Structure 1
Amino acid sequence: MLLWINGPFGGGKTQTAHEIRRRLPGSVICDPEHTGFGLRRTLPPALRGDFRELVSWRQGVVEVLDLALTRHEGVVIVPMTVTDPVQFAETVGRLRELGHDVRHFTLLAERETVLRRLRERVLGRVLARATGRRAPARRETWAVTQLDHCLERLREAEFAEHLWTDHTTVPKTADRIAVLAGLTLDPNTEGRVRTRLRQTAVGLRHIRLD
């Protein structure tokens, strides 16, 4: 099974994916952003844009995830924003055509909720700078410019199942996805402080430096 977790930038995809992986033995995260940023770095700076528009990215994602789903016995978790119907068809749709069990979920929240989460990511970048890591904030700026488009597109029926996350926690969102997918997660035994520290660590590990 593949769990594709969609949503706006700053919508909680990565945190939710890591929560599921932590509590679902045998599961793995396969992040298509790694492929995208690799392709982006290959291009001269003046030609770098949204890697999702590259046919090579969409084809590569399908090839890699097809391999993972064929060879790996556990659940594959994919946190990735896709809002364009053609790109969706050429990734999620194509994997389904290949016979894979793909469960797609879109995490949604009100605009102010997402903006607050993006501000928290900026604070994480400030902390990263304090520890010596270069962490430019332009991705958060770009995410804000994309927010209204993402929220509008992802509300469409083709991007269901929709899960609203304004008034819930990451562990509870993971629980909900598991129930809908027919999976059983290990119990969440963490306290609030430990959960917050772990989520901060996940956020720092996923800071992009380009």
Structure 2
Amino acid sequence: MIILINGSFASGKTTTAELLVQHLYHSMLYDPEIVGAGLAAIVKPIETVTDFQDLTAWRPLVVETARVLKQVYGRTLIIPMTLWHRPYFEEITDGLRQIDPHFYHFCLTARKETLLSRLAQRQQEHTEQALIWIQERFDRCLAAFASPGYAVQIPTDEKRPEEIVEEILTQINSSFL
């Protein structure tokens, strides 16, 4: 099984993914941001972008890394990732579905005010430059994630992370009935 936890910055993706790993036996966290950071460092002399998702090799590497992780470790992959650009989203989700037909996509949503408040609480985790970069992308993310193509959407404004995890587990379990 592969579970993609998508959503805007500060929507709770990583927290949700970490909790899911604790609740799902034989699962592991796979963060494609690590792939992006490593790839950006490797190709810096050749290809420079402001967002590693725009690197030519990043999307195929995300899928191939997932394939290798599934093949070698045979575990459920839980993937937190802000993936709002529709062509990138489709390329990656199509690739993940080919790896495992038990593919689930959940998009965590929240009002802009909620996201900005959460981000402000986490300011010490980010550089000022990173915070500006994230804020510049909020509106694009919110607009994209409001579309039906990013279903199943889970509003997180008034929910604790444990409630979000319970909702995801309920939806996954109901698909096996």
TM-score by length of 2: 0.90
RMSD between aligned residues: 1.9
The whole-number CA distance in structure 2 between the counterparts of 1:55 and 1:158 is 24
Does residue 1:153 correspond to 2:154, yes or no? no
Does residue 1:176 correspond to 2:167, yes or no? yes
Contact residue 21 and residue 27 of structure 1 kept, 8 A: yes
Report the counterpart of residue 75 of structure 1 in structure 2.
76
Report the counterpart of residue 188 of structure 1 in structure 2.
none
Alignment of 1:132-147 (within 5 A): 136-147=127-138
Number of positions where the alignment pairs a residue of Structure 1 with one of Structure 2? 173
The whole-number CA distance in structure 1 between the counterparts of 2:104 and 2:39 is 26
Amino acid at match of 1:91: I
Report the counterpart of residue 33 of structure 2 in structure 1.
33
The whole-number CA distance in structure 2 between the counterparts of 1:45 and 1:113 is 38
The whole-number CA distance in structure 2 between the counterparts of 1:65 and 1:71 is 10
Percent identity between the two aligned chains: 31
The whole-number CA distance in structure 1 between the counterparts of 2:132 and 2:50 is 15
Compute the displacement of 1:14 (Å): 0.5
Compute the displacement of 1:182 (Å): 1.3
Compute the displacement of 1:53 (Å): 1.4
Contact residue 3 and residue 78 of structure 1 kept, 8 A: yes
Per-residue CA distance 1:18-44 (angstroms, 9 max, x = gap):
111122232100100000011112204
Amino acid at match of 1:117: R
The whole-number CA distance in structure 1 between the counterparts of 2:76 and 2:119 is 29
Alignment of 1:1-210 (within 5 A): 1-42=1-42, 43-44=44-45, 47-122=48-123, 124-125=124-125, 136-182=127-173
> Secondary structure of the residue that 2:122 maps to in structure 1?
helix
> Secondary structure of the residue that 2:154 maps to in structure 1?
strand
The whole-number CA distance in structure 2 between the counterparts of 1:63 and 1:96 is 12
Bigger-Rg structure (1/2): 1
Q: Which runs of 5+ in 2 are unaligned?
A: none
TM-score by length of 1: 0.77
Contact residue 69 and residue 100 of structure 1 kept, 8 A: no
Contact residue 36 and residue 51 of structure 1 kept, 8 A: yes
Looking at secondary structure, tell me which structure has more strand per residue.
Answer: 2
Q: Which runs of 5+ in 1 are unaligned?
A: 126-134, 184-210
The whole-number CA distance in structure 1 between the counterparts of 2:99 and 2:163 is 31
Report the counterpart of residue 198 of structure 1 in structure 2.
none
Contact residue 10 and residue 143 of structure 1 kept, 8 A: no
Per-residue CA distance 1:163-188 (angstroms, 9 max, x = gap):
000001011101111111118xxxxx
Over 3 Å counting, the alpha-carbon distance change for 1:45 and 1:121 in structure 2 is farther
Per-residue CA distance 1:59-112 (angstroms, 9 max, x = gap):
011111012223333321000011112111211112213453210000000000
